[in-house]
Structure 1
């Protein structure tokens, strides 16, 4: 494991424990060169379904992309990182439990919207406005009247 601060390949595990979610291992590591500490997580390597984009392209599921889009919607909102992580884990669990090899990006977007609606209404509306390509204020009004 390379140190994220200096790039040195020599790091040592200082502490290991099961993460709060119970699904991963949390390790505190320390760099042998710069002596800075950082945290890594080990998760089981599972096969998520391929995501089929609107134009028909198939791409690998990317947790970072999902997390990034949720964080963008939640920017400057009072939602903790732990809450976001748990929401992403719930989405991933649903994706795995579907037992499909491919899933439409629109279905993934709907899962994200459901989780954001539970976390923060403003983030939900932000995400929905981009995801559903709102054209004007009437689209926002319709969403708020029907969904919130």
Structure 2
């Protein structure tokens, strides 16, 4: 025998299910909405871990730009998960690429954060940024100090 609910005749079971479901929905939506974006210090620590270096050795202004670009792209929840230990190779590569190239993605395309301080110049220690003077004319013909 099925019970038909008539207007004004809601059963106690239906009322409990409705209020319980509503309470859970409100609870979880508040937790999601209350999640704060990661701080700059957290991002710098994460960046240091991904780059296998001390996060304090990285320039904070650049980190702020990279973090803000990721948050603006809707990656704040993914960043929080990455900090908590969840692997996300795509996001990890995006962070590493930003630090090495000195560029991050925006809604309008690429934006340069730094050129001469990009980490690629540390990795490419045999060269220098274009337009960056290495010394007096002919400096390149002399053996660098400490490498004689």
Question: Relative contact order (C-alpha < 8 Å, sep 6+): which is higher?
Answer: 1
Q: Which has the larger radius of gyration?
A: 2
Higher helix share: 2
TM-score over 0.5 for the pair: no
